[in-house]
Amino acid sequence: DSGVTQTPKHLITATGQRVTLRCSPRSGDLSVYWYQQSLDQGLQFLIQYYNGEERAKGNILERFSAQQFPDLHSELNLSSLELGDSALYFCASSPTGVGEQYFGPGTRLTVT
């Protein structure tokens, strides 16, 4: 158990819908990262927050957005969902925003 929690574990929704994924970092970690992993693929970095501020942006679509709240939990919002958005979405946290990352168990999103 990494100490990072993600909810929900599974999510099934229809095309065109909007969903919110939630992540709570390890106690004391200030930085949160979001990743997308499609079947049998590597990790695609989406976005990083540090202490409430956006720090780095990766291959995040305009239909996706995220934020980190004052209590340091983070949410990833996915809208106008397409079939190709079906994937595992991982959240990771780190103490300082650099160095090792600790991953949550992931949210499996299925768009039908």
Q: From the CB of 85, what's the least distance to another protein, in Å?
A: 18
Calculate the alpha carbon distances from 89 to 36, 55, 69, 98 in Å.
Answer: 5, 19, 19, 20
User: Judged by CB under 8 A, does residue 12 bind another protein?
Assistant: no
Q: From the CB of 53, what's the least distance to another protein, in Å?
A: 14
Cβ atoms of 103 and 43 closer than 8 Å? no
Among 5, 20, 30, 43, which residue interacts with another protein (rule: CB under 8 A)? 43
In 3D space, the residue among 14, 19, 12 whose CA is nearest the CA of residue 79 turns out to be 19
Q: From the CB of 103, what's the least distance to another protein, in Å?
A: 3
Q: From the CB of 72, what's the least distance to another protein, in Å?
A: 18
User: Judged by CB under 8 A, does residue 71 bind another protein?
Assistant: no
Residues forming a β-bridge with 54: 49
Select 19 or 97, whichever has its Cβ closest to another protein.
97
Among 56, 63, 69, 82, which residue interacts with another protein (rule: CB under 8 A)? 56
User: Judged by CB under 8 A, does residue 25 bind another protein?
Assistant: no
Calculate the alpha carbon distances from 46 to 49, 55, 105, 112 in Å.
Answer: 11, 11, 17, 22
